[in-house]
Chains A and B, each alone.
Chain A
């Protein structure tokens, strides 16, 4: 499983990344977490607002910090 957390590095983006990391650790799933801070890459993924979470190429959330439960739901 490949998880991309997109954000230029503001407070919310950092928060989103740590929540995703926590959720992955809790679920015990073997997933690769990538932090995307390159705007060109984000645009190619189709992301308009940050922070955004993309799992296996599918946009799961944009423009908000997800809750840990939401992330756990996506990991299933």
Chain B
């Protein structure tokens, strides 16, 4: 037996040089994985203590009166702020790692030459995971359309990418529960798929600026840069620093406004304005949402508080979708490649989709 073991050992020792270099590199990965596991464990431990800790801080340390306006507002703020920031950090890390597997170039390659209906579905789904920043909307639009991605499919992507993103979903999950988060995910995707499909059916190609149509690009020139796991994990960390570093102020302001509404606005106050019976509240929510520019991080704490005070779910979701998906700054950017008619059609189609979602939820829930 000993002999055999020795032979095994001997064998693995005499592997050729590249293997050895690999094995020398490898120990970094398990070490990092252990670090991540410990970190996640610690994360869950702290996360579970947040509620009791914020209660202790509000009512014992600050000795605010339980049930008072100020007490309620402060408790809301002290509980939600660390909770949301912790959820964001964890999820952005995960998504940051996942996104290293997707690039706009790969997405374009997948979508180029796809049939419309299946293309719309794929585009909306890829919109969730493909890294995308709104200042890239124009080069991305040109790159997609000129490489043979159908116009409607491109729009499905452009609608889904900002609207159905990890920040929106995790905040909805953290503040309002998984049911509302899934409803948002499914309806957001549906709006993107159907709106893109309709725009595709309308044959709007002539409403793209001429100079764009003259460009021809090739979807198959994908610059390959294979990443190591260590690099992917690093990308996850970089995403946390970058995104949390950017949105934390929105989160805190959003939660502060939410806390104010939570503590001071009387129960049921919103029912008359944003309630189910006010039929005009859904279109009003969509229209008000267009010029408002905020990302999901700032808007979710506010809608959380609005819901509590009797606003209906459909109206609030319509408001959120409108704020995120129909933003004035993005339209100004897209105007560089699209003629005004096309922009108007885009707003009308997406706006109607959001309206429908709003009414649907007000009716069924």
Chain A residues in the interface with B (C-beta under 8 A) = 6-8, 10, 12-13, 39-40, 42-44, 46-50, 59, 62-63
**Is A8 touching B138 in the complex (CB atoms < 8 A)?**
yes
Across-interface contacts of A40 in B (CB, < 8 A): 142, 211-212, 215
Nearest chain B residue, comparing its CB with the CB of A39: B138
Of B40-48, B51-59, B128-136, the stretch lying at the interface with chain A is B128-136
B8 in the interface (beta carbon within 8 A): no
Residue numbers of B with Cβ under 8 A of A are 103-105, 108, 131-133, 135-136, 138-140, 142-144, 146, 211-212, 215, 217-218, 221, 223, 333, 336-337
B144 to nearest A CB, angstroms?
Answer: 8
Interface of B is mostly: helix
A-B CB contacts (within 8 Å), total count: 66
Tell me whether A63 and B142 are in contact in the complex, defined as CB-CB below 8 angstroms, given that A46-B218, A49-B131 are known contacts.
Answer: no
CA–CA, A34 to B104, complex, Å? Answer: 24
In the complex the two chains form, is B135's CB within 8 Å of A63's CB?
no
Give A59 to B105 CA distance when docked, in angstroms: 12
User: With A48-B105, A62-B223, A63-B104 known to touch, is A43 a contact of B135 (CB < 8 Å)?
Assistant: no
Give the CA-CA distance A10 to B336 in the complex, in Å: 16
Q: Knowing that A7-B135, A10-B133, A49-B139 are A-B contacts, what are 4 other residue pairs whose CB atoms are under 8 Å apart, sorted by A's residue number?
A: A6-B139, A12-B133, A40-B212, A63-B103
14 A-B interface contacts by CB (under 8 A)? A12-B135, A39-B139, A39-B142, A40-B211, A40-B215, A42-B142, A43-B142, A43-B212, A43-B217, A48-B108, A48-B136, A50-B135, A59-B223, A63-B103
The answer for the CA separation of A44 and B217 in the assembled complex, in Å, is 7
Give, as a whole number of angstroms, the nearest-CB distance from B245 to chain A. Answer: 11
Of the listed residues B131, B135, B144, B212, the one surrounded by the most CB atoms of chain A closer than 10 A to its CB is: B135
A39 touching B336 by the CB < 8 A rule? yes
Most B-side CB within 10 Å, residue of A39, A42, A48, A63: A48
Residue of B nearest to A44 (CB): B215
Please determine whether B143 and A43 come into contact, CB atoms closer than 8 angstroms. yes
Residue of A nearest to B246 (CB): A11
Give the distance to chain B from A46, nearest Cβ to Cβ, in Å: 6
Q: How far is the CA of A63 from the CA of B217 in the complex (A)?
A: 18
Given contacts A12-B133, A48-B108, A49-B131, contact A43 B223 (CB under 8 A): no
Once bound together, how far apart are the Cα atoms of A64 and B252, in whole Å?
A: 27
Contacts of B211 on A, CB cut-off 8 Å?
40
Q: Tell me whether A48 and B139 are in contact (CB under 8 A).
A: yes
Find out whether the CB atom of A49 lies under 8 angstroms from the CB atom of B138. Answer: no
CB atoms of B140 and A49 under 8 A apart: yes
Tell me the smallest distance from the CB of A34 to a CB of chain B, in Å.
16
Find the A residue at minimum CB distance from B144.
A48
- The residues of A that contact B104 with a CB separation of less than 8 Å are 48-49, 62-63
Determine if B215 and A47 form an interchain contact, defined as CB atoms under 8 angstroms apart.
Answer: no
A10 near B138 with CB under 8 A, answer no
State whether B139 touches A47 (Cβ < 8 A): yes
Known contacts A62-B223, A63-B131, A47 near B143 by CB under 8 Å: yes
Decide yes or no: A42 and B135 within 8 Å by CB, A62-B105, A62-B223 being known contacts.
no
State the CA gap A39–B104 with chains docked (Å).
Answer: 16
Closest to B136 in A: A49
Residue of B nearest to A8 (CB): B135
Structural contact, B136 and A63, CB atoms closer than 8 A: yes
Assess whether B133 is in contact with A42, with CB atoms less than 8 Å apart: no
B136 touching A50, Cβ below 8 Å: yes
Query: Given A39-B337, A43-B139, A43-B142 in contact, is the A49-B215 Cβ separation under 8 Å?
Result: no
B86 to chain A, nearest CB (A): 25
Q: Specify which chain B residues have a CB less than 8 angstroms from the CB of A12 in the assembled complex.
A: 133, 135
| Contact partners of B131 in chain A: CB under 8 A | 49, 63
